[in-house]
Chains A and B, each alone.
Chain A
Amino acid sequence: EVQLVESGGGLVQPGGSLRLSCAASGFAFSSYAMGWVRQAPGKGLEWMSTISTSGSNVYYADSVKGRFTISRDNSKDTLYLQMSSLRAEDTALYYCTGLVPGLGAFNLWGQGTMVTV
């Protein structure tokens, strides 16, 4: 069974930091680009960041560029999001996502981890 399980969310003060993790199982993690999409309470979806299969290419939304860092460990089938200088507007449910290269779409989703600033 394909699974993405996020962890690391919680309550943090403005200006603080948090590291999210996403443990993947049931599929070839190293063959998928991975990303983070967030959803503020009662709001729509917002793409945050994507990392290529090898980790050599990373992409960020302007709203988090310079504050968030995405990384992955293919030996551990785990995706990370290091968040710093957090603001109240970063409060959201953060979803870990997987993309088949070339699809342009997120075909794998975790259940999300809540971050409250």
Chain B
Amino acid sequence: IVMTQSPDSLAVSLGERATINCKSSQSVFHSSNNVNYLAWYQQKPGQPPKLLVYWASTRNSGVPDRFSGSGSGTDFTLVISSLQAEDVAVYYCQQYHSPPTWTFGQGTKVEI
């Protein structure tokens, strides 16, 4: 499975909306439990990635509600509703597919 993010980078003004897209070459929907195994991560310079969203739209504990994930099947979106200075980072999507494999997108760099 190949995960393709767009754009590769984007610059957004403070307080404005940032939208990142992720497309999977195969569906990540598991009909056995009605779950899209699609996750989003934020990686700031010099830090490990941090899980933001899992199951396509469930925010991880402690993640601000300005981050939201959506989508199903092969097309997914991460939206930062009002960009803050601390949101400058590279964002990655990641899918889980059976037989167990995990694949990351190439990353999207978000700047002010």
Q: Is the CB of B99 within 8 A of A104?
A: no
Q: Is the CB of A107 within 8 A of B60?
A: yes
Q: Which of B48, B51, B106 contacts A44 (CB 8 A)?
A: B106
Q: Is the CB of A46 within 8 A of B51?
A: no
Is B17 positioned at the interface, with any CB of A under 8 Å from its CB?
Answer: no
Q: Is the CB of A47 within 8 A of B102?
A: yes
Count residues of B near A (Cβ-Cβ below 8 Å): 26
Instruction: Name B47's closest neighbour in chain A (CB-CB).
Output: A111
Q: Mark B58-79, 1 if CB is under 8 A from A, else 0.
A: 0010000000000000000000
Instruction: Name B54's closest neighbour in chain A (CB-CB).
Output: A105
Q: Which of A50, A107, A109, A110 contacts B102 (CB 8 A)?
A: A50
A21 to B48, CA, bound (A): 17
Q: Is the CB of B107 within 8 A of A45?
A: yes
- Binding site secondary structure of chain A: loop
Instruction: Name B61's closest neighbour in chain A (CB-CB).
Output: A107
Q: Mark B69-112, 1 if CB is under 8 A from A, else 0.
A: 00000000000000000000010101110011111111100000
Tally inter-chain residue pairs, CB-CB below 8 A: 62
Chain A residues near B105: list those with CB within 8 A: 44
Is A59 positioned at the interface, with any CB of B under 8 Å from its CB?
Answer: yes
Q: Mark A46-71, 1 if CB is under 8 A from B, else 0.
A: 11001000000101010000000000
A107 to B105, CA, bound (A): 17
Instruction: Name B46's closest neighbour in chain A (CB-CB).
Output: A111
**Given A109-B49, A111-B48, A112-B48, also A104-B101 (CB < 8 A):** no
Chain A residues near B104: list those with CB within 8 A: 37, 44-47
Give the shortest distance, in Å, between B13 (CB) and chain A (any CB): 26
A112 to B47, CA, bound (A): 9
Q: Is the CB of B54 within 8 A of A95?
A: no
Give the B-binding residues of A (Cβ under 8 A).
35, 37, 44-47, 50, 57, 59, 61, 95, 103-107, 109-112
